[in-house]
Chains A and B, each alone.
Chain A
Amino acid sequence: MIQRKFKIWLEIDWLTIAAYLALVIFGLLNIYSAVYQPEHPSLFDMEMRYGKQVIWVVLAFVFALVIFLIDARFYQFIAYPFYLIMIFLLIAVVLFGTEVNGARSWFQAGAFRIQPAEFGKVAVVLTLAKFLSTFNIQIHSMRTLTILVGIVFLPALLIFFQNDTGSALVYFALIFTLYREGLTGYVLWIGLAIAVLFVFSFIVNPFYIALIITAITVFLYYQDRKSVLESTIALLTFTFTNILVYIINEYFDLGYQPFFLVAMSTLPVAIIFLAYAIWKRIKSAMYLSLIIISSIIFLSSVDFVFNEVMEKHQQTRILVLLGLKEDPKGAGYNVNQSKIAIGSGGFSGKGFLEGTQTKYDFVPEQSTDFIFCTVGEEWGFLGTTSVILIFVFLLLRLIVLAERQRSNFNRIVGWGVISILFFHFSINILMTIGLAPVIGIPLPFFSYGGSSLWAFTILLFIFLKLDSTRKEFLQ
């Protein structure tokens, strides 16, 4: 027994723990610098955020230790009940929670505040792993997909209702886990295509996008079928209807927008082609028609949602994000300040506690979501690159660990941890350098805040515990 325990300590992946400690300690240093006030120089000053963060860190270490002492099978056992408790808490927080910065996502007891959404990730990862590791599961069966979507979307939806969109979006990161577990690769490519189409719909008039997509699909059809006749008929049909609708618009002086005309002419033709393709069972024609139809519907809805549904500030935020509008005070203000802070750090930074941009609240939320600014300003390019490399090392190491599991449950938990860490890491840093929308999610292990630090620590150490006992499991 003693020998076995000793063996467990040997089996722990100390490399991961080293990366974890590096991030936590470097994070603490940066939080110290970000909120540093000369009157409160002590790192352990409980009036300051760094003093509190020291407590959160110590408690996180305690949690990590406790997680190691608990039997590994407990986590598989607890998954479903934990999930139910979390759903219950997420409903409760929508109803009875305390509002902070416009998001009703906190339970408050005195000075102590906790954010259930952070712990929701742990529950979802465990539940997803337990469900997917069920014997002989068919990931593409309708029933499985429905349950999977339910497991992921229910908490996301509840968090969305708390008005905490950022934390809700995190759950979509689990697509990576599902992809690894065999979900069709199309999900990734379709997601990518949607993102590209979305971005381009603002940069280029959707009128041209629709025309280009049509042209490309016709070309692809020709590539597939090698039939000049069919391709020409398709091209001429599209062109003819477009010109017809255009002439009607001009003749009757209807004054519709060009994109509306393209949609009105192309959509019916594509639907006819689709029907024809289904009837003749021409698979490629079917897909290509579908692409045209869905693109036009997507473009129309983006257009509609943007112009009719969104409010002015939301529109601005999107335009600023896409670099189509400069507005240093408005939506882009945080990002602009953040970029200035990071940029001002130069190659080697201004030095610990020497930052000026991150002091004086130039950068908002700077000990939490924008902690990376402090790294950028005070530690320069060397510091930012180091943080990124540590994260990359951690993530790649976790992939190695996940892939060496014999148990499906262990592996899926591993991939869940990877997916969530990766999403937080990439979106957080990309948003501070203006490459992703500001959706307000913390940098794992780094940002100020007990809830997120604990949630990430629990996630990571549950997996490390599972990994340390991987040889005992054979499920």
Chain B
Amino acid sequence: MKKFDNRKYVIGAIIIAIALAMIIRLFIIQVVDNKYKLSAENNSQRHVVEYPARGMIYDRKGELMVYNQAAYDLLLVPRELKSFDTLAFMRILGIDREYIRENIAKAKQYSWHKPSIFLKEISVETYAVFQEQLYKFPGFFVQTRTLRKYPVPVAAHVLGYVGEVDDRWMEQNPYYKPGDYVGISGIERAYEDVLRGQKGVSIFLVDVHNAIQGHFMDGKYDTLAVRGENIVSTLDLKLQAYGELLMQNKIGSVVAIEPKTGEILCLISSPSYDPNLLIGRIRSVNYQALSRDTLTPLFNRAIMAQYPPGSTFKLVNGLIGLEEGVIDEYTAFSCNGPASVPIKCSHNHRSPISFIHAVEESCNSYYWKSYQAILNNPRYSRIQDSYTAWRNHAMSFGFGKKFNTDIPNELSGFIPDYKYYDKYYGPKGWRPMTIRSLSIGQGEIQITPLQMCNLAATIANRGYYISPHLVKEINGKPAYSDSVTYHKTSVSRENFDLVVEGMSLVYQGDHGTARWYKLPSIPMAGKTGTAENPHGEDHSIFIAFAPVDDPKIAISVVVENAGFGSTWAVPIATLMMEQYLTDSISKPEVEKRMIETNLVARGRGTSDKKD
């Protein structure tokens, strides 16, 4: 076989040649060509995020307040992009060349192989046409999203709105990716974790013709989207809508609470807006318009406006005086009416006046003298101590701090501490006389409408309150979080009984400031107030609850620039309570007048708000 010996070289050469071919090929695949490294990340699969439907929101009676509507986003994967028929593309989608160029550049900048949103919320019709032609536009695909919808366009501030996540949010919450939606305000924000559900991912195989060939590995690695949980809010949709109707063409707020539970029945800030304006593609345009409106419809006055509480605060001062023992049921002070010093009393009433009637008639002199007695209490050697004692009592009503339940962006109001005055006047520079305005709820004190309503609820409960909150149930289970707690004030129950008696006279008494609106069927109790407004006409304030002996609703109403409390705030509060308790209105002429009156023109001045 010697003559075939050289054939071993032929075979050896073939072996070496094939090995060389392998090595060259491997060098190209592994070292030269980046295609495979990129592919390794996306691997000819398309990861399509399946967005869960956001949880729906119902009112306390099960009425639907927020639901979802399908929307379609057009996404782009730059790596898969090939030249396409731009004319047809522009025609189908109704966009111009400039838009295409800009957004392709943007997508490339974000990621070469991850999808970016190219065009948001295309209509169902456009979607149908585009889906048929999809194969002509490699790199593009459509993703289904949901948009919020509001069957009754009310409670915009409470429900809040949903918008795209920003960079800061994404940094703190890696769950979110660009283009994801997140609750930005209201319940949407407070219950984001509950409402959003869990995103899923479907891995599809995509061929060169941009056609989905099916699920990768028969869906073995897909994760299902988990829909968001539904929420039952504490709101009464009907009451909310009625309140918004009464408050139309007025600036101010209405807050109602069920005293025994702390459940917020309505939270109205006027002017409001249609929540359907702040969804999807139209959001940014409408948001701009709303934020430019001088009446600041985006500003939630119910929790963010801070007013001096005016006469409503006399209730607190009276309760503290009783509790501190500096006055009692029988204490009477004289009043010289408009001639009173240092604070005039605008009312015309008997003198001397006792505790209950002082509540009924809102006598300034009585409260100035009580307040003086609190601060001059011989138990305390210094005004700083007596003031702090007063302040601690006041704080036990929930003033000067946030409730920290589920109401995003609430403000805390302001009850100055003694250091505030020490700093301003020097430790020896201030006396009861210096801070006399506090006795009638003016001066430095700032309280939000929600806190005012909580005061009404506290008095209705004769001494305690449950943290006000907005959500009752999550997915059928009670939602009371740890933050919703029982708060006992530092004032005892007997003292509250006296105050309630006085407040009852505000409606039922011969001289009560709300007597014009009393209803024979429902015993109500309330207290009017007027917040001094340096920028224009005073704000009309009223807090109330009903029925007196078994309170089902506590309410606060603030109407800005409306002047004296009884003219506007009282009828609105009364109508609201009657509507809530009886589901009917016995004085339609009052209702008509409230709805038709336009108070916006009366003053451009607004409250001292901190935003």
Contacts and interface: CB of A to CB of B under 8 A. Distances in A.
B44 interface: yes
Interface stretch (A104-112, A306-314, A428-436, A455-463): A428-436
Given A343-B35, A347-B31, A182 B22 contact: no
A13 interface: no
A336 B205 CA distance: 12
A384 B26 contact: yes
Interface stretch (A123-131, A385-393, A466-474): A385-393
Given A181-B1, A340-B43, A381-B26, A399 B33 contact: no
B36 A329 contact: no
B30 A361 contact: no
Given A180-B8, A342-B36, A356-B40, A329 B214 contact: yes
Contact of B11 (A336, A389, A418): A418
B435 interface: no
A437 interface: no
A297 to B, nearest CB: 28
Interface in A383-420: 384-385, 388-389, 391-392, 395-396, 399, 402-403, 408, 411, 418
Given A329-B205, A362-B43, A433 B33 contact: no
A179 B7 contact: yes
Contacts of B16: 392, 396
A346 B37 contact: yes
Nearest to B36: A343
Contacts, number: 118
A381 B23 CA distance: 8
Interface in A312-333: 326-330, 333
A135 interface: no
B583 interface: no
B18 interface: yes
Interface string A29-52: 000000000000000000000000
B535 to A, nearest CB: 65
B29 interface: yes
Contacts of A356: 40
- The residue in A340, A381, A392 that gathers the most chain B C-beta atoms within 10 A of its C-beta is A340
B208 A342 contact: no
A97 interface: no
Contacts of B205: 328-329, 333
A435 B21 contact: yes
Interface string B385-429: 000000000000000000000000000000000000000000000
A333 B15 CA distance: 28
B213 interface: yes
Interface in B1-31: 1, 3-5, 7-8, 10-12, 15-16, 18-19, 21-23, 25-27, 29-31
**Secondary structure dominating the interface of A:** helix
Interface in A126-162: none
B39 interface: yes
B204 to A, nearest CB: 10
B207 interface: yes
Contact of B39 (A340, A392, A395): A340
Contacts of B7: 179-180, 185
Contacts of B213: 328-330
B486 interface: no
B339 interface: no
B25 A435 contact: yes
Contacts of B1: 181-182, 408, 411
Q: Max chain B CB contacts within 10 Å: which of A326, A384, A391?
A: A384
Given A180-B7, A347-B31, A326 B207 contact: yes
B502 to A, nearest CB: 73
A341 interface: yes
Contact of B18 (A357, A380, A426): A426
Given A326-B207, A328-B205, A343-B33, A357 B8 contact: no
B217 interface: yes
Contacts of A336: 44
B27 A381 contact: yes
Contact of A429 (B22, B36, B208): B22
A429 B208 CA distance: 26
Interface string B210-250: 00011001000100000000000000000000000000000
B584 to A, nearest CB: 66
Given A385-B26, A433-B25, A344 B207 contact: no
B15 A395 contact: yes
Nearest to A426: B18
A344 B36 contact: yes
Contacts of A429: 22
A381 B1 CA distance: 41
Interface in B158-212: 205-208
Contact of A396 (B5, B15, B18, B206): B15
Contacts of A395: 15
A449 interface: no
B43 A357 contact: yes
B40 A344 contact: yes
A51 B22 CA distance: 31
A342 B35 CA distance: 12
A345 B33 CA distance: 12
Contacts of A380: 30
Contacts of B31: 346-347, 381
B19 A388 contact: yes
A356 B221 CA distance: 14
B207 A343 contact: no
B37 A343 contact: yes
Contacts of A327: 207
A345 B23 contact: no
A395 B18 CA distance: 12
Contacts of B19: 388-389, 391-392
B390 to A, nearest CB: 65
A115 B323 CA distance: 96
Contact of A422 (B15, B33, B36, B43): B15
Contacts of A396: 12, 15-16
Given A388-B22, A433-B29, A339 B36 contact: yes
Interface string A345-387: 1110000000011001110000000000000100011001100
B203 to A, nearest CB: 11
Given A181-B1, A433-B22, A343 B29 contact: yes
Given A180-B11, A182-B4, A343-B37, 9 more contacts: A326-B208, A328-B206, A328-B208, A336-B44, A340-B43, A357-B40, A384-B26, A403-B5, A411-B1
30 contacts: A179-B10, A180-B7, A182-B4, A326-B207, A326-B208, A328-B205, A329-B205, A329-B207, A339-B29, A340-B36, A340-B40, A342-B36, A343-B36, A344-B40, A345-B30, A346-B37, A357-B43, A376-B30, A385-B23, A388-B22, A388-B26, A399-B11, A402-B8, A426-B22, A430-B18, A433-B25, A433-B26, A433-B29, A435-B22, A435-B25
The 10 closest A-B pairs by CB, nearest first: A343-B36, A344-B40, A328-B44, A329-B205, A329-B213, A381-B30, A343-B29, A340-B39, A392-B19, A326-B208
Interface of B: 1, 3-5, 7-8, 10-12, 15-16, 18-19, 21-23, 25-27, 29-31, 33, 35-37, 39-40, 43-44, 205-208, 213-214, 217, 221
